[in-house]
Amino acid sequence: MTVANSSSKIIYADNAATTKPDAEALALMFELQEKFFANPSSAYKLSRPLKKILQESREKIAACINAKPQEIFFTSGGTESDNWAIKSSVLASLPERPNIITSAVEHKAILNSCAAMKNLGCTVTKLPVDKFGAVNPDDLREKILPQTKIISVMLANNEVGTIQPVKALAAVAHEHGKIFHTDAVQAVGHIPVDVANLGVDMLSASAHKFNGPKGVGFLYVRTGLNFAPYIDGGGQEFSKRGGTENVPAIAAMALALEKNCREMNVTAKKISACANTLLENLRGKNVDFILNGGANRLPGHLSLSFKDCEGETLLHRLDLKNICVSTGSACNSRQVQKSHVLQALTVPEDYINGTIRITFGKENSLSDAENIAENLTDILLSL
Ligand code: PLP
């Protein structure tokens, strides 16, 4: 995507950090914000359209992931959904302190929720991954304990794009009667997600990762699963999540998700072509790099490690060329620690620090990919 800046053009290739909100979704959000300001919970007729929009948004989102509308609970985004899934399972077990199983490559929203539960006396088991970042269902089978309450493994990794065998992992969890949650923040709206087919009990998603607005997301919870509220308050969201709903943002999220799902195949083809073009251009110039994450990755998602250099330097030098990429995940971008994901993949020591993430989105073009490859090659040569 090329965006107009005050003085120059910017190539935005950091779509795993966030995506540009869809113009129609934004227009809908602003229109609703202005015209329908009533509280959706109020009893007068001014609130009726808001109740209807809320219900229609729930239905649209449910249809996109093959869920039932009453299984969709609106939240403030991926972090809240992840916290809710992990912490509610512990709340439901009190006074016992259960075991939680997760993977070594989860987002901090899961890892730090688990760490907080560990401080309360729970035990946390982290499953290893192979060199591509995938969890082996047999490893999960071995690690399940009688006191395990919930297993949480992400659907697609935010740093390297690896798609996990979630269907097989959920099946192992259910063989042992355990709850299975997946953080699908990077997957929803980008690859087909069917909760019934995957067999997951809970799933987290975030609107700003699929061209919706920031600060809104949802948690899918399978009908019949006994789960506790995390945000206590009024009776909103079937009395499971208090707080006046942000109806304009929720409606915009539903519209953005519907659009992304409708255009999914076309977008995937387009951004895969961008990623392939970039790789071919680097290879054509004999650039030495490691492509992390294996073949089963999110479309348009590249994590590249270059020998004996700093990802931070590459990022800032590309930024000077008006190209936006990231090192590791955006949430880590101010930290200089080695990424826990790249470490879990055992990326070689002389390459790990020189890692950047380039993630194409639906507004990128092949010429963006060529431009990034050319600038990156020049920067690497100059270092
Ligand atoms: N989970 C994953 C895999 C993510 O990539 C992110 C955001 O980067 C989150 C959770 C957090 O989502 P949000 O930014 O909506 O809180």
Atom of ligand 1 nearest to the CA of 156: 3
pLDDT computed for residue 336 by the predictor: 61
Q: Is 213 in the pocket of ligand 1 (CB under 6 A)?
A: no
- Alpha-carbon radius of gyration of the chain: 21
Catalytic residue among 64, 309, 324, 331: 331
Q: What are phi and psi of 183, to 5 degrees?
A: -85, 105
Does the annotation mark 331 as catalytic?
Answer: yes
Q: Could you tell me if the CB of 371 is within 6 A of ligand 1?
A: no
Question: Residue 46 C-alpha to ligand 1 middle, in angstroms?
Answer: 35
> How does pLDDT run across 322-349, given as a tens digit for each residue?
999 999 644 444 556 889 999 999 999 9
Which numbered atom of ligand 1 lies nearest the CA of 106? Answer: 3
For a mutational test of ligand 1's pocket, the pick from 107, 112, 331, i.e. the residue with the most ligand atoms closer than 8 A to its C-beta, is 107
pLDDT of residue 20: 97
Which of 162, 209, 298 gets mutated to test ligand 1 (max ligand atoms within 8 A of its CB)?
Answer: 209
Q: Which domains does the chain have, with CATH numbers?
A: 2-21+264-382 (3.90.1150.10), 36-262 (3.40.640.10)
Q: How far is the CA of 356 from the centre of ligand 1 (A)?
A: 18
Sign of CA dihedral 111, 115, 117, 122: positive
Name the pLDDT band for 8 (thresholds 50, 70, 90).
confident
21 in contact with ligand 1, CB cutoff 6 A: no
Residue appearing with tokens 């109740």: 51
Least confident of 4-8, 221-225, 363-367: 4-8
CA distance 230 to 79: 12
Atom number in ligand 1 closest to CA 18: 8
| Model pLDDT for residues 296-315, shown as the tens digit of each residue | 999 999 999 999 999 999 99
How would you classify the pairing of strands 72-75 and 123-127? unpaired
Give one DSSP letter per residue of 265-328, joined into a string. Answer: HHHHHHHHHHHHHHHHHHHHTT--EEEET-SSB-TTEEEEEETTS-HHHHHHHHHHTTEE-BSS
- Each residue's pLDDT tens digit, 193-240: 999 999 999 999 999 999 999 999 999 999 999 899 999 999 999 999
What pLDDT score was predicted for residue 123?
A: 98
Task: Tell me the per-residue pLDDT of 77-99, one tens digit each, with 9 for 90 and over.
Answer: 999 999 999 999 999 999 999 99
Supply the pTM of this predicted model.
0.96
- Each residue's pLDDT tens digit, 135-190: 999 999 999 999 999 999 999 999 999 999 999 999 999 999 999 999 999 999 99
380/158 Cα distance (integer angstroms): 25
* 3-state percent helix, strand, coil for the chain, nearest multiple of 5: 45, 15, 40
